[in-house]
Amino acid sequence: MTKHTGGCHCGRVRYEVEADIDEVMSCNCSMCQKRGTLLTFVPEQQFTLLSGGDDLTDYQFNKKIIHHLFCSTCGIGSFARGVAPDGSEMVAINARCLDDIDLGALTVKLVDGRSF
């Protein structure tokens, strides 16, 4: 697996994630569509928050099962926390917030999140 670094715009929130990312999800739910998020999901164990935990604000909506976290300084939501369908803890990474990713090289899978 490849180690990626990422974070928010102002740099307060920084993290590392271990994942081989070649496909991302573009969801049309009310949150993702407005933010232009491209998501990839990893188990909690593959994610390390390096800095900015105290700078994160939590936002939940709809079924309130995903913690949409964003930097309280710059407003960027670089990742979210939740539970996978199998009950395990997972992290949803906004691929647009990774430092070293070539977005043009990724396959984008469209997901109808409005129907969930």
pLDDT digits (tens, 9 = 90+) for 83-101: 988 999 999 999 999 998 9
pLDDT digits (tens, 9 = 90+) for 3-42: 999 999 999 999 999 999 999 999 998 888 999 999 999 9
CA 101 to chain centre: 14
pTM of this prediction exceeds 0.95: no
3-state helix, strand, coil in the chain (%, to 5): 20, 45, 40
Residue-range domains of the chain with CATH: 3-108 (2.170.150.70)
Q: Are 90 and 43 in contact (CB under 8 A)?
A: yes
84 secondary structure, DSSP code: -
